[in-house]
Amino acid sequence: MAKYRRQHGLFVVEGTTSVLDFLNSEIRLDGLYATGNWIEQHRDHIPHEYTEVEEKELKKISFLKTPPEVVAIFKIPEPGNFDLKNLTGLLLMLDGIQDPGNMGTIIRTADWFGIDTIVCSPGSANPFNPKVVQASMGSLSRVKVYTADLTEMLKNRPDYLKTFGAVMDGQPLVEVAKPQTGIIIIGNEAHGISKELSSQIDFRITIPRFSGHKGPSAESLNASIATAIICYEFRK
């Protein structure tokens, strides 16, 4: 199945909300498989071509524990390139986010906070991996996810574009002035931002641990949690 998807550039979307989100986007449908009941309920929102299937058949093709009433196959959009000169608003750069759940949650969170562009390093999780699609809860239909050499991209950025890197020993997040247009950089779950990319950070930011407590506490925050708190603070 994984091989088939790669060769044909297809990916799978499951569940009503996500499928309707993707049908509502520019991403092209390849096939829609749903129960008769689901088709009846959503007739106004779906294309004329679909395949009516039994629940037990959906169970076979679903990646989920509780199989949904609808599964759709879409074409992976052409990767394309993003030119930083065109950036208005915030952009997220993900430097080696490995966990598909984290990647999907970050896409969902970006969508909530009105960030519609993400650029991943080549070593990041594949945004069209079924676990990423699932965790993004339809947001992958609205947020554009590019892959690029992040260091190269930043070397040529316009002077006015500032970068904010999440690190363990930077300035407290709340103390840094946050522009409406800028780049937030999040590193790998275990190793943070790569050394090479670190040279491109203008502002090193940190989410402070609660200090009113004695004794040990968590070593770090989960990468998707850190991303969310930073996006929240930029948008406040």
Which residues are at the interface with a second copy (CB under 8 A)?
Answer: 17, 21, 24, 101, 105, 108-109, 111-116, 135, 137-139, 142, 174, 207, 209-213, 215-222, 224-225, 228-229, 232, 235-236
Q: Tell me whether residue 53 or residue 133 sits nearer to a second copy (CB atom).
A: 133
Q: How far apart (Å, rounded) are the C-alpha atoms in residues 178 and 188?
A: 23
Q: Tell me whether residue 53 or residue 226 sits nearer to a second copy (CB atom).
A: 226
Q: Tell me whether residue 105 or residue 163 sits nearer to a second copy (CB atom).
A: 105
Angle at 222 between CA 101 and CA 184, to 5 degrees: 90
Buried-exposed string 156-186: b where 16+ CB fall within 10 A, e elsewhere: ebeeebbbbbbbeebeebeebebeeebbbbb
Residues whose CB falls within 8 Å of the CB of residue 54, separated by 6 or more in sequence, listed in order: 35
- Closest approach of Cβ 161 to a second copy, in Å? 19
Burial bucket for residue 190 (CB in 10 Å: 0-12, 13-18, 19+)? exposed
Closest Cα partner for 89 from 156, 128, 144? 144
- Closest approach of Cβ 149 to a second copy, in Å? 26
Q: Tell me whether residue 53 or residue 96 sits nearer to a second copy (CB atom).
A: 96
- Closest approach of Cβ 217 to a second copy, in Å? 5
Pairing between β-strand 182-187 and β-strand 163-172 as defined by DSSP bridges: parallel
Q: Tell me whether residue 150 or residue 192 sits nearer to a second copy (CB atom).
A: 192
- Closest approach of Cβ 97 to a second copy, in Å? 15
- Closest approach of Cβ 65 to a second copy, in Å? 11
